[in-house]
Structure 1
Amino acid sequence: MTTKHDRAPIDPELYEQADNLLVYLKSLADDIAAIQAQAESEIAAITVKHSIPLEALHAEQVAAEKELITLMKKNKAVLFAGADVVNLQPGSLIRSKVDKVTIPKTALAECEAQHFDDVIKIVKSLDRDAIEKWPDTKLALIGAERKPKEEFSYSLKQKEA
């Protein structure tokens, strides 16, 4: 059990020294809190100031990426002409083929019937990532199949120093 007492008359200088240190520590803590509050306020103001132009630029970037992907898809024969990578001055256009698993609506019932519990989520939906890792023979058991799908992307060159 802890006992508390106010200043004891044993060594008044010792208590005065401790009291002064506590006052100093309280002052430091108050100063730190004030500076942190000011810094947080200034950071919030800077964040707000820059968030609007950043959001606009991000929206433009998403639209430009969508436009570039559409351009590549519509003109793949001309742009790629048998190649998968086209190097241009500001960056590269990239075409790759990946397998995409199509899962029919009846696949959940098939997975339940065949006790493929590892891909059934609690909310009664399929775990697409797990199914996509299955071999084709197991996909066929639930009516799913793996088909080649073209994907388009790009990479930008880094600025030269």
Structure 2
Amino acid sequence: MFVFEEIEKILSEIAHLKSQAQGVKDAWDRAISELEKQYGSKLNECKAKIKQKEKELIKLAKSNQKVVFDCGDKREFTNGTLYFAISEKVKRARGVTPKKLKELGYLDAIKVIEKVNWDTIEKWPDEKLIAIGTERIRKEEIKYETR
């Protein structure tokens, strides 16, 4: 009988702690929501202005590239530095498909991800499981719920 009393006590403690954790999470969510209301629009406004100024800076530097980068690929200013670089990228054309690559024999350009489908294997009969070197096992589990 003592075991039942101990189990009751532990279940009660878990229920109390879960309730306490939910209260903390609710308070956390309310605080985050208030912060988002207070600062979210201001932050988004700042980010939008930064993005606009970055576009303005790049446009100005590109249109005056010969003057700005007359001494090389780096120009120091009081409030920052501009860098000029040339890089090459492969344009990702929409017409490039695995089917087209297969037709041309360019198999090295196709990414194949092989993965064991355990959902399918779970439904197999025991004979097939044994054939691949696994088995169905019985797993004992104790679950609980609190009130």
> Shared topology, TM-score over 0.5?
yes
Structure 1 residue ranges, 4+ long, deviating more than 6 angstroms after superposition: 103-110
Q: Deviations over 1:48-73 (max 9, x none)?
A: 32221111111111111111110111
Secondary structure of the 1:97 match is coil
Number of aligned residues: 111
For 1:119, which of 109, 119, 125 is the aligned residue?
109
Secondary structure of the 2:71 match is coil
Residue type of the alignment partner of 1:116: Y
| CA–CA distance in structure 2, aligned partners of residues 115 and 48 of structure 1 | 56
Secondary structure of the 1:86 match is strand
| CA–CA distance in structure 2, aligned partners of residues 65 and 49 of structure 1 | 26
The equivalent of 2:41 in structure 1 is 52
The change in CA–CA distance for 1:19 and 1:71 in structure 2 (over 3 A counts) is: same
1:80 matches 2:65: no
> What does residue range 18-37 of structure 1 map to in structure 2 within 5 Å?
19-37=8-26
The change in CA–CA distance for 1:22 and 1:78 in structure 2 (over 3 A counts) is: same
Residue type of the alignment partner of 2:49: E
**With structure 1 as the length reference, what TM-score do the two structures score?**
0.53
**With structure 2 as the length reference, what TM-score do the two structures score?**
0.58
Residue type of the alignment partner of 1:37: D
The change in CA–CA distance for 1:21 and 1:70 in structure 2 (over 3 A counts) is: same
> What does residue range 1-161 of structure 1 map to in structure 2 within 5 Å?
8=1, 16=5, 19-101=8-90, 114-119=104-109
| CA–CA distance in structure 1, aligned partners of residues 69 and 22 of structure 2 | 60
Q: Percent identity, please.
A: 22
Q: CA RMSD in A?
A: 3.4
* Structure 2 residue ranges without an equivalent (≥5): 112-147
Per-residue deviation, 1:19: 3.8
